[in-house]
Structure 1
Amino acid sequence: MKLNDITILENQSLAPYAYTQVGGKVDYLAIPKTQLELQQLLHWAKLKEQPVHIFGRLSNLVVRNGGLHGLSILLHDLRDIKVDQRTITADAGADLIIVAEVAMTHGLTGLEWAAGIPGSVGGAIFMNAGAYGGQTEMVVTAVTAIMPDLSIQIFKLSELEFGYRHSIFQENSGVIVSATFTLTPDLKSDIQLRMDVNNYRRADKQPLNYPSNGSVFKRPEGYFAGKLIMDSGLQGTRIGGIEVSKKHAGFMVNINNGTGNDYEDLIHHVQVTVKKKFNVTLETEVRIIGER
């Protein structure tokens, strides 16, 4: 199906596009190449009264086997990055890793923590992503979004309501279009060294040889989720094709054609086991959506 020059795929599986290689089918799928195309798609969905689902790299998300109704939009072709002195403005679909690299090549510090995060700028804003002592809220100063009435709104930092893995976009249904990062000048060699150290730590501790969503659970107050899972004897536990990583208990990896339902069932099993053993409730950091 075509909308102007935009191809809209019907009854399309999300699994080939997802970082974890899991996900059910969606009614409609489109990949806009410009902000104008994105606006046209949102307008089409509004006229057709179709629900809209917006995704970046699908790297912190599980879509159940039953999939999603309505229009799903992947933003990974919206990836322009512009540098102006101390600021970087990046489209929502830009890879966070690439933005961190661009910052380094321009001698700008503040994004070293993001050097190995396999997500998009939009996803980082939506979830207030962070690692190794850094968080999105520390460097973002403005976000442009398309609101449900199709108006374009610019949010200042104070309006983004950042919290632990939270932003205002989890409530206001705005579609993130771009973000501006304000950074600090520093020596490229020092920035690169910090990035290299963080990436070494990731490679040393995380199961990067299998598809995963990164850390599955938020850090419970006073505990570490991975240690609770490890001490519950759950490493190596498998449901379907998804396994609690033997390398890092806070990760779940797709080792053999796992599905979204496998992922959700394993999450539930881990939560029940940890609650029973330690009386600690593990809350998911990954989002789980779609029908069973």
Structure 2
Amino acid sequence: APKSAILPSRNHPPRPPTIVEPASATARLVRGLTTVGAPRAQMAAGGKRALFLDCDDTLYHNGFKTAELLTVSIAQYCETHLGITYEKSVELYKQHGTCLKGLEAEHIPHDREHFLETVHRVHLDFGADARLREMLARLDHGSSEVRVFTASVASHALRCLEHLGIAEQLVTPERPIIDVKSVEFRSKHHREAFTIAQSLVRVAEPALCTLVDDNWTNIRAAKAAGWRTVVVGHVSRYGEPASGLEEADHVIGSIHELPTILPEFFVCEHAQQSAAALARAE
């Protein structure tokens, strides 16, 4: 679905964020690599920091082609299966954060699982990203929880990661994808989704959570939940300069610049070299 880009209030001058200039699945597998319905009693402990990476238009960027295909897919599904016009499907999204939430809020009969799995079967036109793979190889999983946090379903996110050649770096049974099902079908436009995501990784304080996302509304909701925020893209999908996004703590041109603003989530090159030398000696 289209992503909203809402300008900051004119009554409150925006606080300039840190800006970094751009640098010169199978169903079985998905079930095993997604977080769904974890017991609340097991979620509240722990003191690690957490890094949450959005998938679409964050881990890759293709001029929002995938987002447009998803919009068309959702509209076609609504017309074919639900008898709803394109205009109505867009209206549901704008009013409720996702079309699915709109269907439920307005009590329009639908099959939730069929809707989610069907509308996300779109063509992906991007391929492996060696530079991203190298960056992810330096993530410090020992001191941080790193998760893909998507507003879509895990099956779609996993396909994207496989196309990028990074699935095994970000998704394991111990580090499952957090998707719309994981957060009890809350939209990332609302802070409740971030509160649930925080509990899933057992991080006690919101300030220890960081969201990396391209969607301005998601960034605002995460900030309202007490998270640190990084917006990807110096300009929004609709042309607004991200320097005016008050809720963004950092602005980067692409995901590849992440280590320059969040070095605490990465192992330094010297430490990596020492570990490699030790491994060779053993």
Question: If the length of structure 1 is used for normalisation, what is the TM-score?
Answer: 0.28
Higher relative strand content: 1
Which structure has the highest helix share of the two? 2
Larger RCO (CA within 8 A; separation ≥ 6)? 2
